[in-house]
Chains A and B, each alone.
Chain A
Amino acid sequence: MKALDDVWRREAPHVLGALLRKYSDLGDCEEALQEAAEAAAAQWPVDGIPDSPRGWLITVASRRLIDRARADTARARRETLDAAQRPEAVDDRTVPDHDDTLRLFFLCCHPALTRPSQVALCLRSVAGLGVEQIAAAYLVPARTMTQRLTRARTALRQAGAQFVMPSEQELPDRVAAVIDVCHLVFTEGYARTSGEALLDVQLAEEAIRLVRQLHAALPDHAEVAGALALMLLTHARSPARVDPTGDLVPLAAQDRALWRRDLITEGVELLERTLPRGHVGRFQLQAAIAAVHAEAATYEQTDWLQISVVYDMLSRVAPGPAVTLNHAVAVAMAHEPAAGLAMLDPLLDDPAMQRHHRLYAVRAHLLDLNGEPDAAAEQYRIAARLTSSLPEQRYLNRKLAR
C-alpha cells in the first residue's frame, strides 16, 4: 500500500490540475478526485498500478464529473456542461506541470480566503494530504478541518476564483501569499517539541516539499529560493532542539554535531546562488541569519556583528516587534547588553507586546548578561506567566528556580 500512497501523493495535484483546467470548481473536482481515489484503491491492488496512473485517475474522475453534471442539471453550471460534452478535451499533456502546480497554489492561496483556510487547502489540494491527517497535524477534530475546507471552497466559488495565472500586477502579492502559507505550515511543524513524532505527517517536511515544488515552478524567484533556504537551514537544527526528555533546547545550548549538514549545505548553496541576484526580501535575510548560525562551530563563535547587520536590513525591509526583539539580542551580543536593552524600551509601550512573553524573556536574558540577576528574575517570572508554550514555560521556570 505504500507504493499506492506514493503514487497518489505524487499524482493527485497533477490530476486535480488537469480537472481544474476543464471544470474549474475546486469542490466538484476534489470530490471527483476522491471518488477516483476510492476506485483506484479498490482496483489497483487487484489489477496492478496502471502504466499511466495520472491518465487513469483523470479519466475516472472526469467520468464522475460528467455523470454528476448530467444528473445534476438543476445546478446547471454551464461550464461544467460545456466540458461534459467534450470530455476528450481533458488530457494531461497539453500544459507543463509546473504551470498546473502554480495555478493550484494560487487558487488555494486566493485572497478571498483567510490564512488558516489557505493553509488547509494547500495541504489538502497541493500536498495531497487527507483531511484526517491535516486535522491530526493541527490537533483539531476532523469535523473542524472539514468545515474549514468546505468553507474555503465555498468562498472560492463565491469569489469566482479561477484556475488561472494571476495578472502581472497581482503576481508579486500572490506569490508572497503562497510563500507565507508555506512558511506558516513550516513554523507550525518546526515549533513542535512533542507529539510530532507520533503523527504520520511532519508539517515541517510537508512545508519544505511544498516550497520545493514552488521553487521548481519559479526557479528565478529570489524570495521563494530564500524561503526554501530558510526552511532547510532551520530544519537542520531539528535533531538538536529537543532533549531526550522532550524539553526545548535553546540555540545556545544545542549540540551542533546533531545538526543536519546535508540540509545546511543545500541551504547555504541555494542562498549563495540567490543573494547576488538583486532584490533581497525578508526570507533571504532571515535565511542569511540562519546561515550565519549554521556556520558557527559553537554558539560563542557566532558572528553576532554580521547577524546584527542583517537584522538591521531586515528591520527596514520587514519591520515588526519580532524582528526588533531578535535584533536587540544580536546587538547585545555584538556590542553590549545595555545597547540591546535600550532597543526594547519602545516595545514596552506597545499594547500588543505588553502581554507578549517574548519581550520579557528577551529582556530577562539581556539583564542577565548585563549582570542584573534580580531584575532578570522579575522579567523571567513575567515571561513564564505569559507564555502559552509548555516547553518555553518549563524553560523559563527553570531559569527562575536557579
Chain B
Amino acid sequence: MKYVILIHSNPQPWGHPTSDYLAAHQALPDDVRKRLNAEFEQVMTELQANGELLGGEALGDPAGARLYRWRDGEPLASDGPYSEAKEHLAGFFLIDVDSKARAEEVAARFSGPDETVELRPMMWPGGDDQ
C-alpha cells in the first residue's frame, strides 16, 4: 500500500531539515533535540533498509513558487507563495508499506513541534470486481 507523507511547515528562514529552523524546535532542550533528530534518522534508515521508502524530496521556499491560474482561457502566471497559510508544503516522502497501521506508525514518527504531517493514501490502478 502506497502512501505519501506530506510535511507542512514554516521554517524561518526556509531551510532543511525544517526542524533546525523552527522556533518551537530550537526551544527544546539539547538532549531532546538530539533524541528527536536521532529518531528521525532511525526511521529513515529503517524505511530504506526495509525497502519501504520509494522516494522523497525537500521543497524550496514557497516565496520562490510560480503560480499559474486560468484567466480568460489562458494561464496567468504570478509569484508565490500560494497561500498566506501558517504552514506550507515543505517536503514529501513516498512509502510502500504492508498495512495502513504501519503507514500511520511511520507518519507519527515524522511529526514534530510546530509542523503538521499529513498522511494520504496514493490512488492505485486496480480494484475489486465483486
Using a CB–CB cutoff of 8 Å, the interface residues on chain A facing chain B are 114-117, 120, 138-141, 144-149, 151, 188, 191-195, 237, 241, 248-251, 254, 326, 329, 358, 387-393, 395
A–B pairs, 5, beta carbons within 8 Å: A148-B51, A188-B126, A191-B126, A248-B127, A395-B127
Q: How far is the CA of A390 from the CA of B125 in the complex (A)?
A: 5
Scoring B residues 90 to 130 as 1 if CB is less than 8 Å from chain A, else 0, what string do you get? 00000010100000000000000000000001111111111
User: Contacts A141-B54, A144-B96 known; A388 to B122 CB distance under 8 Å?
Assistant: yes
**Does A148 contact B129, Cβ atoms closer than 8 Å?**
no
Report the nearest A residue to B125, measured CB to CB.
Answer: A194
User: Contacts A148-B50, A191-B127, A249-B129 known; A114 to B98 CB distance under 8 Å?
Assistant: yes
Q: How far is the CA of A237 from the CA of B126 in the complex (A)?
A: 15
**Does A254 contact B128, Cβ atoms closer than 8 Å?**
no
Q: How far is the CA of A56 from the CA of B129 in the complex (A)?
A: 46
Is residue B36 contacting chain A, with contact meaning CB distance below 8 A? no
Q: How far is the CA of A393 from the CA of B53 in the complex (A)?
A: 26
User: Contacts A114-B98, A116-B98, A388-B122 known; A147 to B50 CB distance under 8 Å?
Assistant: yes
User: In whole Å, how far is B104's beta carbon from the nearest beta carbon of chain A?
Assistant: 11
Is residue B12 contacting chain A, with contact meaning CB distance below 8 A? no
Q: How far is the CA of A249 from the CA of B129 in the complex (A)?
A: 7
**Does A391 contact B50, Cβ atoms closer than 8 Å?**
no
Report the nearest B residue to A326, measured CB to CB.
Answer: B130
> Chain A residues with Cβ under 8 A from B78's Cβ?
none
User: Contacts A147-B48, A388-B121 known; A193 to B127 CB distance under 8 Å?
Assistant: yes
Other contacts beyond A147-B50, A191-B126: 4, CB < 8 A: A139-B124, A147-B48, A389-B123, A390-B124
Using a CB–CB cutoff of 8 Å, the interface residues on chain B facing chain A are 2, 48-55, 96, 98, 121-130
**Does A389 contact B126, Cβ atoms closer than 8 Å?**
yes
User: In whole Å, how far is A117's beta carbon from the nearest beta carbon of chain B?
Assistant: 8
- B127 contacts which of A149, A254, A392 (Cβ < 8 Å)? A392
> Chain B residues with Cβ under 8 A from A195's Cβ?
125
- B126 contacts which of A120, A146, A148, A192 (Cβ < 8 Å)? A192
**Does B54 contact A140, Cβ atoms closer than 8 Å?**
yes
> Chain B residues with Cβ under 8 A from A249's Cβ?
129
Q: How far is the CA of A110 from the CA of B53 in the complex (A)?
A: 23
**Does A147 contact B51, Cβ atoms closer than 8 Å?**
yes
**Does A250 contact B51, Cβ atoms closer than 8 Å?**
no
User: In whole Å, how far is B9's beta carbon from the nearest beta carbon of chain A?
Assistant: 25
Report the nearest B residue to A395, measured CB to CB.
Answer: B127
User: In whole Å, how far is A119's beta carbon from the nearest beta carbon of chain B?
Assistant: 10
Q: How far is the CA of A251 from the CA of B129 in the complex (A)?
A: 6
> Chain B residues with Cβ under 8 A from A148's Cβ?
50-51
Report the nearest B residue to A154, measured CB to CB.
Answer: B49
**Does B127 contact A358, Cβ atoms closer than 8 Å?**
no
Report the nearest A residue to B121, measured CB to CB.
Answer: A388
> Chain A residues with Cβ under 8 A from B128's Cβ?
191, 358, 389, 392
Q: How far is the CA of A248 from the CA of B55 in the complex (A)?
A: 30
**Does B98 contact A250, Cβ atoms closer than 8 Å?**
no
User: In whole Å, how far is A96's beta carbon from the nearest beta carbon of chain B?
Assistant: 34
User: Contacts A147-B48, A147-B51, A151-B50 known; A388 to B123 CB distance under 8 Å?
Assistant: yes
**Does A390 contact B50, Cβ atoms closer than 8 Å?**
no
**Does B129 contact A393, Cβ atoms closer than 8 Å?**
no
Q: How far is the CA of A111 from the CA of B50 in the complex (A)?
A: 16
**Does B126 contact A141, Cβ atoms closer than 8 Å?**
no
User: In whole Å, how far is A78's beta carbon from the nearest beta carbon of chain B?
Assistant: 28
> Chain B residues with Cβ under 8 A from A251's Cβ?
129-130
- A140 contacts which of B48, B96, B127, B130 (Cβ < 8 Å)? B96
> Chain A residues with Cβ under 8 A from B129's Cβ?
237, 241, 248-251, 254
> Chain A residues with Cβ under 8 A from B50's Cβ?
114, 147-148, 151
**Does A389 contact B98, Cβ atoms closer than 8 Å?**
no
Report the nearest B residue to A192, measured CB to CB.
Answer: B126
Q: How far is the CA of A329 from the CA of B122 in the complex (A)?
A: 28
> Chain A residues with Cβ under 8 A from B125's Cβ?
192-195, 390-391
Q: How far is the CA of A117 from the CA of B50 in the complex (A)?
A: 9
> Chain A residues with Cβ under 8 A from B96's Cβ?
116, 138, 140, 144
**Does B124 contact A389, Cβ atoms closer than 8 Å?**
yes
Report the nearest A residue to B99, measured CB to CB.
Answer: A115
> Chain A residues with Cβ under 8 A from B51's Cβ?
116-117, 120, 140, 144-149, 151
User: Contacts A114-B98, A116-B98, A141-B54 known; A391 to B126 CB distance under 8 Å?
Assistant: yes
